[in-house]
Amino acid sequence: MRYLLGIDVGGTFTDFVAYDAMQRDVKVWKVPSTPTDPINGILNGIHSALSPDTISLVRLGTTVATNAVLERKGGTVAYVTTRGFRDVPFIQRGNRKAHYDMSWVKPKPLVKRRHCFEVTERIDAYGKEIVPLDEAEVARIADRIAADPEIEAVAVCFLFSYLDPAHETRAKAILAERLGADMPISTSFEVLPKWKEYERASTTLADAYLKPVVSRQLRAMRDRLDGEGVGAPVVVIKSNGGEMTLGAAAEAPVNLVMSGPTGGVIASRYLAELTGIDNLVTLDMGGTSTDVATVLGQQESFTTNFEIEWGVPIQIPMLDIRTIGAGGGSIAWIDKGGMLRVGPHSAGARPGPACYGFGGTDATVTDANVVLGRIDPDNFLNGTMKLDKAAAERAVGAVAEAIGQSVEATALAIVQIANNNMVSALRSVLIERGLDPRDFTLATFGGAGPPHAAELMGEIGIPRAIVPPHPGQFSAYGFIVTNARVDRQRTTQLTSRRFDAARASQILEDLVADAVDELKAQDFTENLVVHRALAMRYLGQNYELELSIEPADLSPERAAGLWAAFHKAHEARFGFAIPGETIEIVNYLATVVSIGDKPAFPKLAEGDGPPEPVGRRSVVFASGREEAPVYRREALLAGQTIGGPAIVEEAASVTIVAPGQHLDVDQFGSLHIAAHTNA
């Protein structure tokens, strides 16, 4: 038996999915996480279910980089930059986090001001050298860095290096020569060759800041695994959802800052492929927070707008995942104007919702779901944990008294307001990006997500929802279906007035070659798929639209078609175009993916007739109270249909079907919810 093992290290649980390609068998399990040393949780989980020598490959999402930047526990970095500009990371962009909040403290960069050094050199806005690099000065800086035992890594960021990296490359060579191979050095051209010096500097600093800690921890993990007999290769998942080897990760750790939450999105992309659904919006709802993302045309959506905290950007392309502080543990409260609010404060795991019986007295979303009969207090986590319905009613009752409503109406209001918070997050990834919810299917997972799907669909106008198998471990699923992926981007401006097709072509093909080299260096040589795009705008605008192109589109004859395509895309996205206007190409983007083998998941047997409910219970829906049949998910078979109202229960979650909706079971066991066509 040879297992491909996917591991998702969460805050509370570490989830495992093992796939045996020969037997087409999938195992799913979880163990408590060990936050002080996550490797313990990983090893506990492996030993609890598998023999180490049966594992062929381990893929995992890692929070090493995420935690290091969020908790500010990275290395001590020296910053080397153009003379006159050492304060760029401190001055930042001049704006502030929120209006009217005088208690706000501007974030510090990932470097101390005393560790910043200036070098005489200058490239201008045309990419021309106007002041040569003072190499002796770089050498003197190297000596000062060498003399400071605190410094563990170096970041180099010169102005306009995205146009000509020669000075950065040379400075790196001088620094490396004098500091030795053990001193990690990140240059802005290698990390993010795009314009806007603050954003590039911040990203480059993050890479250098992470190098010492990430390489140390990845090495420690490899050693521990080897020591415990897990000799299989290990790959980690990048923030863009692609896999990379441990060696490559240590060289470019900035790629790992959003590794952890990618699993759910990758799994959703695969779900889209399996089910043939083009567009998914994902809702991964846990106890304290909810992640929202989109899959468009069976591809994940990407962003370069990540910030480790407000104002400190890391602009590496990564999966576009929005996190909001709304989950099952979110607390309902009354504000000073008498308005009922839900979250962002959460009861967390301890004391947790009032119904957990750990002494919590605040009403949470989970308590409201218990009061409404949507969650069965006797059947939570397969009945391993009894919930205290009376405590839930007391907690919701206190809120009800304050707003002068019945307990039931208040519970309903709590759920609706929590849903509204999630609708706001869904709006931000759909409507605010010009996407129409009617073209989407809502994929809900995480333990707390599926109970909310039925009502969220109606609130935001998404016609269909899907609950995948094992929604509680769905993120770990993602890690057994990843590909290797490298994204490359570069800024060089060219306009439609004087378009140099050969130059544009050359830039793009260089990026593609770079990306292919990076994959080959990690032995990802099979099934390479190349994607090219241009980021374009009207001359004068400051934000770009990305248009996918083929190499042939960059021939002089076909350039007119390129401009026409931009006008059309502008009209589609923003509602207007400016015909005849000069168009500027700003960024060149290349992505190369090495498509890995995908597991063939087991299929369910075909059902013969409707499923049998295991019981009935009284549930409050937005439309009123109804007796709803209760089904066990394990008993459902492919092709079966259930009319709402209904409840489907399983180990880690519960799915609600509202009146007027029905649920279909597909061949892989996913549950599809939709409104009756005539409802």
Partner 1 sequence: MRFSDNGFYVEKYVKCANCGLLVYGPGIQTEGSRDIYCSDWCVEWAGLKAKGDPEPRLPIVPPRLPIEEAMAARVTERPPADPVMMNILDSTMVSICREMGILLMKTSYSTIFNEGLDFTCALADAKGDMIACAEFCPTMIGGMPILIKTCAQEIDFSTLEPGDVIVHNDPYRGGLHCPEHTFFKPIFADGALLGFAVCIGHIAEIGGMVPGAFCGEATEIFHEGMRVPPVKIRKAGKDVEEVWKLLLANCRTPRQNYGDLMAMIGSVDLGVDRVGQIVEKYGADVFRDTCEDLMDYSERRMRAELDAFPDGVYGFEDVIENDGIERKPYTVAIDLHIQGDEVVADYRRSSPQARGPVNATLGVATGAVYNGILHVTDPSIPKNSGCFRPIRVVSPPGLVVNVDYPGPLVAGNTETHPRLANIVIGAMSRCVPTRAMASESCTGTNFVFGGEHPDYDEYFACYDIMSGGWGGRHEHDGNDCVIAINGNCRFNPTEVFETRFPLRVETFEMMPDSGGAGRWRGGLGFRRELVVTQVPITASQCSDRHEVRPFALFGGAEGGNGGTMVKKAGSEAWSTVCELYGKTSSSKYANVRFDPGDRVLLWTPGGGGYGDPAERDPGAIAEDVAEGYVSAEAASRLYGWSGKA
Element (H, E) at 16: strand 13-20
- Two tokens, residue 56: 């062929």
- How many residues bind partner 1 (CB under 8 A)? The answer is 66
What whole-number distance in Å separates Cα of residue 419 and Cα of residue 435?
Answer: 20
Are 67 and 210 in contact by the 8 Å Cβ rule? The answer is: no
Q: Tell me how far, at minimum, the Cβ of 236 lies from partner 1, in Å.
A: 32
Among 2, 222, 224, 341, binds partner 1 (CB under 8 A): 341
Distance CA 63, CA 14 (A): 12
Rank residues 66 and 491 by Cβ distance to partner 1 and give the closer one: 491
CB of 384 or CB of 542, closer to partner 1: 542
Of 334 and 600, which CB lies nearer to partner 1 in the complex structure?
334
Q: Smallest Cα–Cα separation from 335: which of 422, 403, 404, 408?
A: 403
Neighbours of 405 (CB within 10 A): 15
Residue 427 CB-density burial (10 A; 0-12 exposed, 13-18 middle, 19+ buried): middle
Which two tokens mark 107?
A: 């974030």
Shortest reach from residue 94's CB to partner 1, in Å: 4
Q: What is the DSSP string of 637-650?
A: -BT-EEESSEEEE-
Q: How far is the CB of 428 from partner 1 (least distance, A)?
A: 7
Q: How far is the CB of 459 from partner 1 (least distance, A)?
A: 8
E strands, 181-269, in order: 185-187, 234-237, 243-245
Hey, which residues between 607 and 666 contact partner 1 (CB under 8 A)? Answer: none
CB of 232 to partner 1, least distance (A): 45
What's the farthest any 2 CA atoms get from each other in the chain?
82
**Residue 182 interacting with partner 1 (CB under 8 A):** no
Strands (E), 132-267: 153-157, 185-187, 234-237, 243-245
Closest to partner 1 by CB, 92 or 522: 92
Which lies closer to partner 1 via its Cβ, residue 36 or residue 95? 95
Distance CA 366, CA 369 (A): 5
Angle ∠(22,25,30) on CA atoms, nearest 5:
135
- DSSP letter at 186 equals E
What mask of x and - would describe binding to partner 1 in positions 118 to 157, judged by CB under 8 A? ------xx--------------------------------
What's the closest the beta carbon of residue 257 comes to partner 1, in angstroms? Answer: 22
Of 431 and 651, the one with the shorter C-beta distance to partner 1 is 431
> Is 614:646 a contact under the CB 8 Å cutoff?
no
Site string for partner 1, 452-481 (x = CB under 8 A): -------x----------------------
Taking CB under 8 A as the binding criterion, the range among 98-106, 235-243, 351-359, 521-529 that sits at the site for partner 1 is: 98-106
Other beta carbons within 10 angstroms of residue 95's beta carbon come to 7
Instruction: Report how far apart the first and last C-alpha atoms of the chain are (Å, whole number).
Output: 50
Binding map of partner 1 across residues 76-95, x = CB under 8 A, - = no contact: --------xxxxx-xxxxxx
Span 420-439, contacts to partner 1 by CB under 8 A? 420-421, 423-424, 427-428, 431-432
Residue placing its CB nearer to partner 1 in the complex, 576 or 677: 576
> In whole angstroms, what is the distance from residue 285 CA to residue 420 CA?
14
Residue 567 contacts partner 1 per CB under 8 A: no
> What radius of gyration, in Å, describes the C-alpha atoms of the chain?
27
Among 60, 65, 159, 324, interactor with partner 1 by CB under 8 A: 159
Chosen residue from 26, 390, 403, 604 binding partner 1 by CB under 8 A: 403
Strands (E), 550-621: 583-594, 615-621
- Tell me which residues in 499-558 interact with partner 1 (CB under 8 A): 538-543
| Tokens found for residue 650 | 């399983």
Question: Is residue 36 part of the contact set for partner 1 (CB under 8 A)?
Answer: no
Length of the chain: 679
Q: Which of 71, 101, 612, 634 binds partner 1 (CB under 8 A)?
A: 101
| Choice between 311 and 471, CB closer to partner 1 | 311
Instruction: Please give the residue ranges that form the binding site for partner 1 (CB under 8 A).
Output: 84-88, 90-96, 98-106, 112-114, 124-125, 159-160, 195-199, 335-341, 403, 413, 416-417, 420-421, 423-424, 427-428, 431-432, 459, 493, 538-543, 570, 574-576, 578, 581
